[in-house]
Amino acid sequence: MLLARWVLMDRYVEWRAAMISSAFVVILLGVCPLAGGDGYDDFLSVWRGRESWMNWGISGLVFFAGVPALAGVRQFVISGRGTPIPFDPPKTLVSEGVYGYCANPMQLSMAAVLIFWALLWHSWVSLGLAVVSVAYAQGLAKWSETEDLKRRHGKRWLLYQSVVPRWRFRIFPYLSPDQDRSPARLYVASRCDVCSEVRHWFSMKESTGLMLCAAEDYPGHPLDRITYISASGEVQARGIDAVACAFQHLHVGWAYLGWLMQFPGIMQILQLAMDTSGAGKFQMDGSAVKNEK
């Protein structure tokens, strides 16, 4: 009831996305295997009958396979102000972040998670769901999404889908015409020891659609953290989140690290560690920039 009301009112998009994502996880990984005949006793016997390092290793594969899906949901919320479901789609064409590498990250990630989940619990139901999800994505979902996006975004969508694959990741991110004309910006203080090291590191890397700027030149209020602003202006990130966004302009390896850094809980821990060490913020006082201890 809340979800329906919030969709109609176009409010609380973060909560809408969280509710939908949680429901998908619970239904696909819990309800469906149990309803399909796999019981708790079956799951426990499989877990106990395997070496613990194998259990945790496969669990890790489930987690890491799910990271791109969460990154996709997050990008929908931040860049498009929408969610993954058809009746509550993003309001703009999202081609930044994980969508610069893969046009279908959520469905690709979901299929991989279901395969590893089936391996973890010896669940034929989960394996069948993986096959069904791929068939659905390639059939009805692909047709429906293509027609809808073509109608709403026209040539921008046609260009995007012609160069960004659906079932694999590009090595380097897609650069839209808008990003080419007005790249994303990473504002880093030029007279801060720790920040200058970050700036130097990024300047040594070959990036796509990213411009390094001095925080002192930021046109708005004085900055106290490294700040990232996307080409569209919809994504504005600070601190560890800004660095993670900038990673996504390098190549898919660094991009995945960025998606992992933005995982709920991990980002907050990393930011707290940086703040505690005194490297999280910088202060500007006239021409002086110093670390805030």
What's the pTM?
0.88
| Extents of the domains making up the chain | 2-163, 177-291
**DSSP letters spanning 9-71:** HT--HHHHHHHHHHHHHHIIIIIHHHHTT--HHHHHHHHHTS-HHHHHHHHHHHHHHHHHHHH
Distance CA 217, CA 233 (A): 17
Interval 250-281: pLDDT, tens: 999 999 999 999 998 999 999 998 888 766 66
Interval 131-153: pLDDT, tens: 999 998 888 888 888 888 888 88
DSSP 112: H
Catalogue the E-assigned strands of the chain.
184-188, 210-214, 227-229, 236-238, 282-285, 288-291
Q: For residue 98, name the pLDDT band (cuts at 50, 70, 90).
A: very high
Interval 29-41: pLDDT, tens: 988 888 876 667 7
Single-letter residue type at 267: M
pLDDT higher than threshold 90 for residue 242: yes
Residue with tokens 């790249």: 183
Pairing of strands 184-188, 210-214: parallel
